[in-house]
Amino acid sequence: MSLLGEMQEIIEHMVDRYQVCWEVYPHEEMWNGARIQTGFDVELYGTHCYNEQHPTPGCQQCLEVYDALQAIALNILPEERRPSRYELSPFDRSIRYSHMRKDRPDVLLTITISHRNHPMEWIDECEVRCLNDIKQKLRDIGAEQRAWNWQKGQRARQN
């Protein structure tokens, strides 16, 4: 197996292990008293393994989930230089619970997509293209939009 194939397999394993889900929101800024959309926020959510004890915010397992999300994020960013830039949120030592994901204990990493040289400009076709490329790569590695597909997880454990 090639190095690229091995890396893809590792990333897919992390997606399954931490049940990685994603959502997209507009990234907005205030400019001259008006709210403008300057980019997108791609939120990656991963959860603790369920066979471990109940997590506490900022625990070692949270950091492990965040590190996996960071590796996934770096793997899905566009490789060539574009007029857009990508910013990864730092580890914030928090656990989030969402009804959408059955109130599981989630760690969050946000990828902000914006203009490279003019971060206060409206979004353009480059940011949209980058977002679409990232969304496709997330689908390719098995990450789920909004909520984890529990049947998929059961199939993976049976194989």
Q: What is the pLDDT of residues 2-56, one digit of tens each?
A: 777 788 999 999 999 999 999 999 999 998 899 999 999 999 999 987 655 678 8
Give the Cα separation of 94 and 78 in Å (integer).
28
At 153, the pLDDT band (50, 70, 90 cuts) reads low
- Measured between alpha carbons, how far is 87 from 76 in angstroms, rounded to an integer? 13
Q: What is the pTM of this model?
A: 0.90
pLDDT tens for residues 96-143? 999 999 989 999 999 999 998 877 888 999 999 999 999 999 999 999
Extended beta strands in 72-151, E state: 84-88, 106-115, 144-145
Question: What are the domain boundaries of the chain?
Answer: 3-158
Tens-place pLDDT, residues 87-96: 999 999 999 9
Number of helical (H) and strand (E) elements in the chain, helices listed first: 4, 5
pLDDT score, position 151 = 72
Dist CA 127 CA 115 (whole Å)? 7
Inter-residue contact 68 to 17 (CB < 8 Å): yes
